[in-house]
Chain A
Amino acid sequence: MSLLSPPLRWLAFFACLAATPPLLRLFGVDGGGAVQIGALNDIGIYLILALSLNIILGYAGLFHMGHTAFFAVGAYASAILNTSHGWPILQTMPVAGLLAAFFALLVAGPIIRLRGDYLLVVTIGVVEIVRIVLLNNVFDLTGGANGISGISRAEIFGLRLTTPADLFYLIWAFAGLTVILCSLLENSRFGRALKYIKQDEVAAAGCGINISLYKIQAFVLGAFWAGMAGTLLAVKMRLVDPESFTFSQSVMLFAIVILGGSGSIAGVVLGSFLLIGLQEIFRDFSQARMLAFGAAMVIMMVFRPQGLIPARRRRYDLRGLTGVFPRALGRRGGAEGT
C-alpha cells in the first residue's frame, strides 16, 4: 500500500478501471463483457451518489437517509427537459443539479435543527413523499407510474454514446472528478468546519462556526451532486420511473457510507464496490441472493464496526515549525524550550 503516494494510488486505480473494457473484449468474455461493464456502471453511479451523501453524513455527521429524493429530482429534471423541451441530455446536467440543490434548500431549511434520529425519519419521509408525488403525476409532468421514457442518447462533441462501454467512460470520468473534488473539499476550510460540527457541535459553535448555515450548505452541496448523478441515470436507463427511487435505495447508500467508513473517500469507494458488486456476485444464489447479502452486511458490520477503511484524522506537519515549543511537539524548534 505504501509503495505509492495517495494521488498516485488513485491514478493507478482509475487507470486499471479504464483498461477494463478493452481487456474484457480482448479476453473474449461473453458479449464483450457487457454484463460486467453494466455492473461497473451501476457501481459508478452509486459511488457518485455515495460520495455526495458522504458530505452530509460522513463529514457533517447528519443522519440523512433520504438521499434518493435529490437523485430523483435531478433525474426527472433531466428527463423532462430532454423529452419535452428537446435539450441535449448532457446539457441538462447543471440544471438538474441546481434544481436538486434548490429542493434541498427548501427541505433542509425547516428541519435542519432536528436532532439525530428525528432528522433521519424526516429524511425518510421526504423520500416517500417525493416518490408518491411522482407516482400521482402532480403538475402533469412526471408521467405517473410509467415514468418518462424515450430519453435521447447522450452526445459528446458529436459522438453518440451507444454501448455500455461508452457509458462506462462517461460515468467513471464523472466519478473520478467526484473523487478529486471530494478530496479537495475534505481539507478545505468548509470541510474542516463540517468535521468539527460532527465531532462537537457546541464547541464548533463556540469557535464561531454558524452551525445551521454550514449544515444547510452541506445538504445543498450533496443534493447538487446527487442531482447531477440523476442525469447520468437518465442517460444510462433512458427511462425514469418512480420505482427507481425507493427507500431501499436510500438505505443502500447509507449502508455504503457507514460500512465503507464514514468520512473516508477510499472507504466509500470500497463500500460501493462491495455492496453493489456483492449483489451482482450473489446472483448465482438467485433466490437467496438478498438473504446472503443481508447476512453479509451484518457480519461485515460486526467485524468492522468502524467501517472498512475508517477516515484518518487530519495530521499537521510540524517539522517545519521553529521557535519555542514544548519538547514533544517540534523536532527542530523544540530544543530551546523549557
Chain B
Amino acid sequence: MQEFLQQLTNGLAVGGIYALIALGYTMVYGVLKLINFAHGELFALGAYLGFTLLVTLGLSDFMGGVGVVFLLLIFAMGLVAIAGYFLERVAYRPLRQSNRLAAVVSALGASIFFQNAMMLVYGTKALVYPGGILPSVVVSVLGVEIPLIRILIFASSVLLMCLLFWFIHHTRTGAAVRAVSLDQGAARLMGINVNRIISLIFLIGPALGAAAGVMVGLLYGQIRYDMGVGYGLKAFTAAILGGIGNIPGAMAGGILLGVIEALGAAYISIAWKDAIAFFTLILILIFRPTGLLGERVADKV
C-alpha cells in the first residue's frame, strides 16, 4: 500500500506536467487543426531558460524558496510565449489556407530547428539544475512519506489549469477563443479578430509548456536538449487520449497517463515504461476512437 501510494503521488506529479504540455497541443489543435510538433521543443526551451535565469543570471542568489520559483516560472513563461508567437507568425500563418499536412511538416522542421538551436547554445550534455531551491522536505500524509516538491508541482500545475479553465469559460476573450475553435468563419463574422485569438493561443500554450519545463528541471534536476521529443510525444499522447481539441480532456489524459506510467514502471517493468503508455493509448482508442472526452464526429456528406 505504502509503495502504491508513493508511486501514485509520483505519477500525479508527472501527470500534472504532462497535462500542462498537453494543453498546448490541444489548444492549438482546437483552433488550427494542427499538431504543433514544435511544442515539445518550446517546453524544453522553458526548462533551459529557467536554467539560465537561475544559474547564469544568479536569480537564486537574490531570494530563496518559493519566491524564486514563482519569479522563475513567470520569466520562463513570458519568454517562451514570445518564442511561440514568432513560431506561429513565421512557420504556420503562411500555411493556414493550405493542406493540413504542409503545416505539420513545417512544424516538424521548426522542431528540428529549435532542438538544434538549444544544442548549439547549451551543448549536448545534460545540465543540472542547482539543488536546494526548494527545501527537500518530506511530508507525511496519512502515514505516507511524500516529497514536498511533488506536492508543490502537482498543486501548481492544477492551479495553472484552473486559471486556464476560468479564463476560457468565464471571460470575454475566453468566449472568443471557444468561438474561434468552433467555427472560424462564423467567429470572424461576429467581429472576432481571429488572427489575434490564434496569436493569443500561441502565447498561452507555450507559456504553459514552459512552466512544465521549469517543473521538470526542479523535479528531476536534469535537463537535456532533446528531452522535448520524449515529453512532447507523451503529452501529445495524453492530449489524444483525452480527445484532442478538448481542454478538460487534455488535463484528464495527462494525469491519467502519468499515473499509468508510474504504476506500470513500478509493478511491471521500468524498461517497458514508454511501451505501456502507448499500449494504453492504442487500447483506449480501439474502444473510444475519439479519446476519452472527445466528441463523436458524424460523417458529413
Give A contacts to B, CB under 8 Å: 63, 110-111, 113-115, 117-118, 120-122, 124-126, 128-129, 132-133, 135-136, 201-202, 247-248, 251, 254-255, 258-259, 262, 287-291, 293-298, 301-302, 305-307
Contacts and interface: CB of A to CB of B under 8 A. Distances in A.
A118 B290 contact: yes
Given A132-B272, A294-B116, A251 B108 contact: yes
Contacts of B111: 294
A43 B250 CA distance: 39
A132 B108 CA distance: 23
Interface string B111-145: 11111110110000000000000000000000000
A117 to B, nearest CB: 6
Chain A at the B interface: mostly helix, strand, loop or mixed? helix
B211 interface: no
A297 B109 contact: yes
A64 B98 CA distance: 19
Nearest to A303: B94
Contact of B272 (A113, A136, A201): A136
Contacts of A254: 104-105, 108
Q: B117, B271, B275 — which one has the most chain A CB atoms within 10 A of its CB? A: B275
Interface of B: 29, 35, 90-91, 94-95, 98-99, 101-106, 108-117, 119-120, 229, 233, 236-237, 240, 244, 271-272, 274-275, 278-279, 281-282, 285-286, 289-291, 297, 299-301
A121 B289 contact: no
Nearest to B243: A118
Nearest to A300: B109
Given A132-B274, A294-B116, A302-B91, A118 B106 contact: no
B233 A128 contact: yes
Contacts of A129: 275, 278-279
Given A294-B113, A294-B115, A302-B94, 11 more contacts: A110-B282, A115-B289, A117-B244, A118-B289, A126-B282, A129-B278, A129-B279, A258-B101, A291-B117, A291-B120, A306-B102
B120 A114 contact: no
Contacts of A132: 271-272, 274-275
Contact of B91 (A290, A298, A306): A298
Contacts of A251: 108
A122 B90 contact: no
A150 to B, nearest CB: 25
By secondary structure, the B interface counts as: helix
Contacts, number: 131
A76 to B, nearest CB: 17
A163 to B, nearest CB: 33
Nearest to B93: A302
A294 B110 contact: yes
Contacts of A287: 119-120
Contact of B105 (A136, A289, A301): A301
B29 A117 contact: yes
Contact of B35 (A117, A128, A262, A293): A117
B95 A301 contact: yes
A95 to B, nearest CB: 26
Contact of B289 (A113, A136, A289, A297): A113
Contacts of B301: 202
B236 A121 contact: yes
A117 B244 CA distance: 9
Given A298-B90, A302-B95, A288 B282 contact: no
A120 B285 CA distance: 12
A202 B108 contact: no
Contact of A293 (B95, B112, B117): B112
Contacts of A136: 271-272
24 contacts: A111-B285, A117-B35, A118-B285, A118-B289, A120-B35, A121-B236, A122-B281, A128-B278, A129-B275, A132-B272, A136-B271, A201-B299, A202-B301, A247-B233, A254-B104, A258-B101, A287-B119, A288-B116, A290-B116, A291-B112, A294-B113, A295-B109, A297-B108, A306-B102
A118 B113 contact: no
B105 A297 contact: yes
Contacts of B275: 128-129, 132-133
Contacts of B115: 290, 294
Contact of B233 (A117, A124, A289): A124
A134 B109 CA distance: 28
A325 to B, nearest CB: 29
Contacts of A201: 299
Given A136-B272, A302-B91, A297 B233 contact: no
Contacts of A307: 102
B289 A114 contact: yes
Contacts of A202: 299-301
Among the interface residues A113, A248, A297, A307, which one has the most CB atoms of the partner chain B within 10 A? A297
Nearest to B106: A301
| CB-CB nearest 9 A-B residue pairs | A297-B109, A294-B113, A294-B112, A125-B278, A305-B98, A291-B116, A298-B109, A305-B102, A301-B106
B271 A115 contact: no
Given A254-B108, A258-B102, A302-B106, A115 B229 contact: no
A276 to B, nearest CB: 14
B151 to A, nearest CB: 31
